[in-house]
Structure 1
Amino acid sequence: MHNKTLKDSFDELFQYQAERPAIRKAGVEALVRLLPVAQRDTGQSGVIGRFLLGLYNGPAHPFDLTELRRLDAGLFDDCIAVLRLDNSPEQEVHTYFPDGDEIWQDLRRVWA
């Protein structure tokens, strides 16, 4: 069994902080690609819409992770990038968009 030292923990934290700008950039770009998919009317749109609602308010909109299997590779990768972005959220997902509250209310009407 590996016992992590305090130095190991700090090294991991510093590494994560160094990677954070790239994680944020990739996550925001993925979020911008995913939203229009969620606003369409396809099977993948429903998965993306429910995924975004789950990030917005998980207790109100639980999301079954096995639904991600229904996505093509590019959309799946975008979801993972958004999850990495939201792992240490600087802001809520809907706030990356002007009128994000209204947009997410529309998603709720369609996909909740």
Structure 2
Amino acid sequence: MTPKEYFAQIAKESAERPAIRAAGLEALQRLVPIAQRDSGQSHTIGRFLLGLYNGVAYPFNLVELRGLDTPLFEDCLSVLRLDRRPEQEVHEYFKGGDAIWADFRKRWGKQ
């Protein structure tokens, strides 16, 4: 990639960032309540969110995403796009996020 192409890509990503942020935050608002439930999809989403929170302590196997319903899969991709260039830690988007993610660690962190 030439310097000109690199800077064009950066400019494109900057222009797209507001839409990526909005879609990611909307998706995150949908995913967190599902991760707080007790289902197979809750497990996958909880582990995915923990992986974004701390991928070293809570590694996530991307193959698990294959088991999600399509809308949930798409929401995970939107959150991943949001977190690609993080403005803040994923749990910080929520009031009480530390407590929410502490619950995720208890529920899904040892699986």
TM-score tier (shorter): over 0.9
Q: 2:29 aligns with which of 29, 32, 39?
A: 32
Q: Given the alignment, which residue of 72, 75, 88 partners 1:78? A: 75
List alignment gaps of at least 5 residues for structure 1. Answer: none
Partner of 2:86: 89
Q: 1:57 aligns with which of 47, 54, 57?
A: 54
Give, in whole Å, the separation in 2 of the partners of 1:69 and 1:11: 33
> Percent sequence identity over matched residues?
63
Q: Which residue of 1 aligns with 2:44?
A: 47
| Corresponding residue SS for 1:91 | coil
Task: Measure how far apart 1:110 and its partner are.
Answer: 0.6
Residue 7 (structure 1) aligned with residue 8 (structure 2): no
Would you identify which runs of 4 or more consecutive aligned residues in structure 1 move more than 6 Å?
none
Q: C-alpha displacement at 1:5, in angstroms? A: 2.1
Residue in 1 aligned with 2:64?
A: 67
SS in 2 for 1:11: helix
Unaligned runs of 5+ in 2: none
**TM-score, normalization by structure 1:** 0.96
Equivalence for 1:100: 97
Larger Rg: 1
